[in-house]
Amino acid sequence: MQELELGHPITAHGETLSVLEFNEPTGKDVRELGYPYQMNQDESIKLQAHIIAKYIVRLANVPLSTVDQMSPGDLNAAGWLVAGFFLQG
């Protein structure tokens, strides 16, 4: 599990959250959601926001309406946290 401290608190399940806890994705998650990034020809990585949002919902156990509340900076940090599960060593 990995934690992400949010710069701007959000609400989920009637509670205010300043930290999201992410479980590691499983093979089933990848099969159902796909990879959360695209590798470009120049080897740069483009995060796929619509897929990242689905991973946040599943791995942090929050509703999509909570993801919609996230600031762009927090959403970007969450995106790289999720991508980090795939881009490790």
| Residue-wise pLDDT tens digits, 26-73 | 999 999 999 999 999 998 999 999 999 999 999 999 999 999 999 999
Q: Is 88's pLDDT higher than 80?
A: no
* pLDDT tens digits, one per residue of 10-25: 999 999 999 999 999 9
pLDDT of residue 82: 97
Give Cβ neighbours of residue 22 (< 8 Å, ≥ 6 apart).
Answer: 1, 2, 3, 4, 56, 59, 60, 78, 81, 82
The band of 89, judged by pLDDT with boundaries at 50, 70 and 90, is low
Which residues pair with residue 21 across a beta bridge?
A: 3
Euclidean distance between CA atoms 26 and 23, whole angstroms: 9
pLDDT of residue 87: 85
pLDDT of residue 1: 94
